[in-house]
Amino acid sequence: MSEFNIIRYKIHKGRYLNPTLIYKMGPLKAYRLSHTKMANEIIASIPEGLDDKRKAYHVYLELGKRVSEDPKFVFADPNNQRELEDIYEGDLTEEGYGICKSIAETYHAILRDKRVGVKSVLVKSSMNRKFPHIDCLLFLDGKEYVTNLIADLSRIKTGKRTRNFGYRLEKTEEDPDFIQDPIAKRYAIERNLYATRMHRLFPNLSYFLEREVGEFDLDLGYSYRLTEYDGSIKGIYTNDVFDNIYETFGYGSNDSEYGFDESTSKDERIRKKFETILGIADTYSQKNGNINYLENIRFIGRTMRKMLTGEELARVVPYALATKGDPRSITSVVKVTNDPNDSESRTFYFVKGPSDDEYSFYSKEDLKDYMKSASGMYILGIMDRKRRDITSEDILREN
């Protein structure tokens, strides 16, 4: 891997870092990445007089508005190692598609440019994977901070609080990841191993509190809006909007707020909730930059988990379909299966094509016609996971 030559990288204070954790990006590549049209626009947009923390965060937000995680990598055939390696070793595409490595490299290149001048280095979160995840480590005021921009893309583009700028690596036993499914638990354990290695190499490794990042947001105008709150200025995020809805509707406890009564069917309830949530999301989201499929479906997925009941969630299956044979041109099909305990219940769908601004309601017959008329359409998977075992019959099947 030509751009992934692992070396002993000398960093400040004369320390030497573990060569299996740090890798260096060459100066020619750094120059090329920091002088693209997009990079030049971001650098030119940095307000005068910012300290390094806010400067690094401004670049983080502005780059996050412009790039997207590449579905071609996410939905790639795991047996096609050549395709995976080509994408992993590549730069951002002209359309702004990339993966953790290319996005982190671009962020690092912009920061190290003399026009910005924020010290950073690229780090691997795993040492035993062929395609390890890459973070960008910042050196600010005598401390080090880990950033993971790709994990915040959906939040940045929908006006939510960011969680991965100078974030805490450790996960405790009380963290929900430790009591969820085995995959989440394994991820939490790997995160703690990563944290242990990083603390050994960087004794001044730190993280920003939510309050501190909130102050950055206020200073940079990222919050949805500013309002007086308890005598002080507070930023409003999409999170706050949905928290307010949740407190009002609370898992269906206040059904009258939706216009429901005892005669309202379960199908009508879940359809109305879905339409209401999507409508409010469309109204209150900042929609910074171009929201592509992965950012959109993750935003919806997080919101659905909070706003729908467990019984309602069990009926929802989000499918991803490639359009015109292009895995980067995705039609999102959110299936709401029929309730097997209700003979009147029917399966229905919400569909959003790659050029659509919003989801549309589809019956099973509507979707069948849509899939027949679409050119080069094929199934990629569920949510953001590759699934080769799914057929169109599965999508159209009643429960």
CB 334, CB 395: distance < 8 Å: no
H-helix segments, 338-391: 364-373
* Rounded Cα–Cα distance for residues 386 and 184 (Å): 17
**Cα 50 to Cα 45, 54, 116, 252, distances in angstroms:** 12, 6, 10, 46
In a domain, 225, yes or no: no
Same-domain status, 198 and 265: no
Same-domain status, 183 and 267: no
* Rounded Cα–Cα distance for residues 271 and 104 (Å): 39
Q: What is the pTM of this model?
A: 0.86
Same-domain status, 281 and 178: no
In a domain, 175, yes or no: yes
* Rounded Cα–Cα distance for residues 207 and 110 (Å): 21
Q: Which domain holds residue 259?
A: 238-396
- Chosen domain end from 220, 248, 279: 220
Question: Would you write out the chain's pLDDT as a tens digit for each of its 399 residues?
Answer: 333 333 333 334 434 445 457 777 889 999 999 999 999 999 999 999 999 999 999 999 999 999 999 999 999 988 889 999 999 999 999 999 999 999 999 999 999 999 999 999 999 887 667 888 999 999 999 999 999 999 999 999 888 899 999 999 887 666 665 556 676 777 777 888 888 889 988 999 999 999 999 999 989 988 755 555 555 556 677 777 777 766 665 444 445 555 666 777 888 888 888 887 777 666 655 566 678 899 888 888 888 887 788 888 999 999 999 988 899 999 999 999 999 888 889 999 999 988 888 889 999 999 999 998 887 899 999 999 998 889 999 999 987
User: Per the structure, how many domains does the chain have?
Assistant: 2
Same-domain status, 340 and 192: no
* Rounded Cα–Cα distance for residues 238 and 283 (Å): 10
In a domain, 230, yes or no: no
In a domain, 356, yes or no: yes
In a domain, 121, yes or no: yes
CB 125, CB 21: distance < 8 Å: no
Same-domain status, 53 and 106: yes
Same-domain status, 204 and 321: no
Same-domain status, 209 and 66: yes
In a domain, 89, yes or no: yes
Query: Given this model, what pLDDT does residue 273 score?
Result: 82
* Rounded Cα–Cα distance for residues 126 and 194 (Å): 7
Q: Is 90 left (phi over 0), alpha (psi -120 to 50) or beta?
A: beta
Same-domain status, 96 and 171: yes
In a domain, 228, yes or no: no
**Cβ neighbourhood burial of 366 (10 Å; 0-12, 13-18, 19+):** middle
- Chosen domain end from 193, 220, 247: 220
* Torsions phi, psi for 382 (to 5 deg): -110, 130
In a domain, 233, yes or no: no
Same-domain status, 189 and 60: yes
Query: Given this model, what pLDDT does residue 270 score?
Result: 87
